[in-house]
Amino acid sequence: MALITLSSEVSQRLVAGEVITGPQAVVKELVENALDAGASAIQVEIWGGGMEMVRVSDDGCGIPPAEVELAFRHFTTSKIRTLDDLHHLSTLGFRGEALACLASLAQVEMVTRARGHLGGVRVQVEEGQVVGRWPAPHPVGTTVVVRRLCPPTTPQAGEAPIREVIRAFALAHPHVRFELRAEGRRVLATSGSGDLRGVVAELFGPTLASTMATLGPDSQGDVEVSGLISRPPAARPDRQRIYVAVNGRPVRTPSLLEAVETAARPFFPKGRFPLAVVHLRLPPCLVDVNLSPTKDEVRILPQQEALGLLREAVRRALRETPLTEAVGASPLLGPWPSPRLAEGPPQWEKAPLRPLGQLLDTFLLAEGAQGLYIIDQHRAHERAIYESLLARKGQRSPLKEPIVLELKPHQAAMLRGMPALLAELGFSLEEFGRHHFLVREVPHMLENVPGRALEEAVQEALVEEEGWLERLLISLACRAAVRRGRRLRPEEVAAILEPYQRPGAPTLCPHGGPIALVIGREALARQLGLG
Ligand code: ADP
Ligand code: MG
């Protein structure tokens, strides 16, 4: 659609106002334009926290030479024509205000080449006016450079809010490749693979991504919900990592964030929140975006249905998804040892494994579809125990002698804060005296951890509040797992390997180290010179 200036009848009805509140808003508006242009790769570069320079390049459709100047006029857009178009909005932008506002607050340069045109056009814009225009080479797509931003209010400059903007868009658009460079360093990048779990792995690390539960897809009426949500203990001390996108638009609408939060609350300790990525899709006519200049609020017309659907999807995901399924959905990208000899990470799904024995009292050897599997006995066992703790089957084992935990007041408060979750994990704790707990039962698989080690694990985990539950499960798993250097009987070897006989079994230990490596036929043949 060509760029036109909206009639005053239309423009008066748009909730316009200050859009460019700071460098993060510059990035947001330019990324929105790139996505609206159908980009599959978007590169963002900032200097001076975005105040000195922001550059956004895309491989979208570009702007035809005859329309480049128009793009910088107020209320000039290619995305709507009439008020009625607002009810069928499929683009992120629609008011035709961002570039015009930006041009009045900074020096702007745009190079763009439209599809079907041989060359590009470069324009220079100062104080809202186009002051220069030249032919310029550019691949199909658009690059906008914004220098010396001078926003009307004191902005929140710096990399962090910009990183957050890009994260939100990358999570809302897994098919688009994003890259952010700040002060010359690459600070984040996604591959645009289209796999949401992969994007989460790229942004927040593979361990977290692999343990998240799949949310939906579920639908009710016209509304569809899908996404990922972290399972306890992977939690956050704040709500900032609940990402909701409505039809590809990242939003911070309180009712939507609250729906995720309230549904997840019973599964998390007090004051802990999940990391969640939620995609809501519904016909554009049921979403009103024309509410605030920054467009990060939306009104969903079947609001109650949408909220109900969202809450139910969150509950179901946290209740039902078995962890191994979450892991299987995307092979973990781990820090693999040098591939010279090894083939790399095992693909457990191609097993079954035939146990061959133990090497150096440390490694388990097994034959599987890919060849020889060399498995670190400690890590393999540790991860299996961690999984079983997380799965919260609630199987508990009574201790021969109860253990007394002596804690500091704030540590006692952390334990006291979540009796239900601890019980669900399989602990039975009794408080007695001040800051003392009696442990009578522990989760199955921890029964052989000596009392001292258990107390140590609890003490260590509770050193500070942030992430204590995850630390607790990891250090318990570590203490319960067989040590390296211990000779194992064949049935013990088989028992440790048993969880890895399943498709999608984990490939990293809870600390992120590789569990196994594989040496295939080819590598062996090569090493032995068998041709
Ligand atoms: P809006 O996005 O609300 O239409 P903007 O001021 O952000 O308003 O952009 C004005 C117009 O300039 C857009 O409607 C679009 O036609 C064009 N435009 C801006 N950025 C790009 C881009 N990166 N690629 C293609 N066209 C663009
Ligand atoms: Mg726009």
| Separation of alpha carbons 506 and 325, rounded Å | 10
Query: Which pLDDT score, from 0 to 100, does residue 328 have?
Result: 30
Ligand 1 closest atom vs CA 60: 24
| Separation of alpha carbons 209 and 200, rounded Å | 6
Which residue shows structure tokens 């800051």?
435
Contact present, 504 and 349 (Cβ < 8 Å): yes
Closest C-alpha to 166, from 271, 50, 61: 50
CA 86 – ligand 1 centroid, Å: 16
Query: Which pLDDT score, from 0 to 100, does residue 460 have?
Result: 83
DSSP state of 344: B
pLDDT over 90 percentage in the chain: 53
Query: Which pLDDT score, from 0 to 100, does residue 394 have?
Result: 66
Ligand 1 closest atom vs CA 92: 2
For residue 73, the ligand closest to its alpha carbon is 1
Q: What's the gap between Cα 314 and its chain centre?
A: 16
For residue 98, the ligand closest to its alpha carbon is 1
Q: Which amino acid is at 376?
A: D
Cα four-point dihedral sign 491, 496, 497, 499: positive
Query: Which pLDDT score, from 0 to 100, does residue 331 have?
Result: 32
Q: Where are the alpha helices (DSSP H) in 223-322?
A: 254-264, 303-320
CA 203 – ligand 1 centroid, Å: 28
44, 58, 77: which to mutate for ligand 1, most atoms within 8 A of CB?
A: 77
Which residue shows structure tokens 């979208």?
60
Residues 6 or more apart whose CB falls under 8 angstroms from that of 111 comprise 120, 121, 122, 136, 138, 142, 143
For 40, other C-beta atoms within 10 Å of its C-beta total 15
Closest C-alpha to 351, from 526, 514, 498, 524: 498
Which residue shows structure tokens 């990060």?
296
Ligand 1 closest atom vs CA 142: 23
For residue 80, the ligand closest to its alpha carbon is 1
| Separation of alpha carbons 276 and 214, rounded Å | 10
CA 62 – ligand 2 centroid, Å: 13
Asked if omega into 352 is within 30° of 0 (cis), the reply is yes
| Separation of alpha carbons 318 and 96, rounded Å | 42
Query: Which pLDDT score, from 0 to 100, does residue 332 have?
Result: 31
> Is 526 strand, coil or helix?
helix
Ligand 1 closest atom vs CA 141: 24
Query: Atom 18 in ligand 1: which residue has the minimum CA distance?
Result: 33
* Category of 453 on φ-ψ map: left (φ > 0), alpha (ψ -120 to 50) or beta: alpha
Closest C-alpha to 225, from 169, 308, 298, 296: 308
For residue 34, the ligand closest to its alpha carbon is 1
72, 78, 112, 294: which to mutate for ligand 1, most atoms within 8 A of CB?
A: 78
Query: Which pLDDT score, from 0 to 100, does residue 324 have?
Result: 33
Query: Which pLDDT score, from 0 to 100, does residue 31 have?
Result: 98
CA 228 – ligand 1 centroid, Å: 31
| Helix, strand, coil percentages for the chain (3-state, nearest 5) | 35, 25, 40
Cα four-point dihedral sign 412, 418, 423, 427: negative
CA 77 – ligand 1 centroid, Å: 6
Q: Where are the alpha helices (DSSP H) in 392-489?
A: 409-416, 419-425, 451-461, 468-480
Closest C-alpha to 356, from 366, 371, 347, 348: 366
CA 277 – ligand 2 centroid, Å: 24
Tokens at residue 326, please?
A: 């979450």
Ligand 1 proximal residues by C-beta, below 6 Å: 3, 29, 33-34, 36-37, 58, 60-63, 71, 77-79, 93-100, 142
Query: Atom 23 in ligand 1: which residue has the minimum CA distance?
Result: 34
| Separation of alpha carbons 108 and 130, rounded Å | 9
* Whether this model's pTM surpasses 0.85: no
Which residue shows structure tokens 């509410």?
291
Tokens at residue 121, please?
A: 């056009």
Query: Atom 19 in ligand 1: which residue has the minimum CA distance?
Result: 33
Cα four-point dihedral sign 468, 474, 479, 483: negative
99, 130, 140, 143: which to mutate for ligand 1, most atoms within 8 A of CB?
A: 99
**pLDDT 10s digits, 304-318:** 999 999 999 998 888
CA 277 – ligand 1 centroid, Å: 27
Residues 6 or more apart whose CB falls under 8 angstroms from that of 338 comprise none
| Separation of alpha carbons 101 and 133, rounded Å | 20
Instruction: Kindly give the pairing relationship between strand 299-300 and strand 287-288.
Output: antiparallel
| Separation of alpha carbons 463 and 410, rounded Å | 9
CA 66 – ligand 2 centroid, Å: 19
Q: Give CA torsion, residues 46, 48, 52, 55, to 10 deg.
A: 0
CA 34 – ligand 1 centroid, Å: 8
Long-range contacts of 469-475 (CB under 8 A, 24+ apart): 469/232, 469/233, 469/235, 469/269, 469/272, 469/418, 469/421, 470/233, 470/234, 470/235, 472/233, 473/233, 473/386, 473/389, 473/390, 473/425, 473/510, 474/386, 474/510, 474/511
Q: Which amino acid is at 23?
A: P
DSSP string, 139-177: -SEEEEEEES---SS----SHHHHHHHHHHHHHH-TTSE
Strand locations in 352-501 (E): 354-359, 363-368, 371-376, 396-406, 428-432, 436-443
Query: Which pLDDT score, from 0 to 100, does residue 338 have?
Result: 36
Query: Atom 20 in ligand 1: which residue has the minimum CA distance?
Result: 33
Instruction: Point out the residues of the chain with pLDDT beneath 50.
Output: 322-339
| Separation of alpha carbons 481 and 469, rounded Å | 18
| Separation of alpha carbons 75 and 77, rounded Å | 6
Query: Which pLDDT score, from 0 to 100, does residue 344 have?
Result: 56
Point out which residues pair with 41 in neighbouring strands. 177
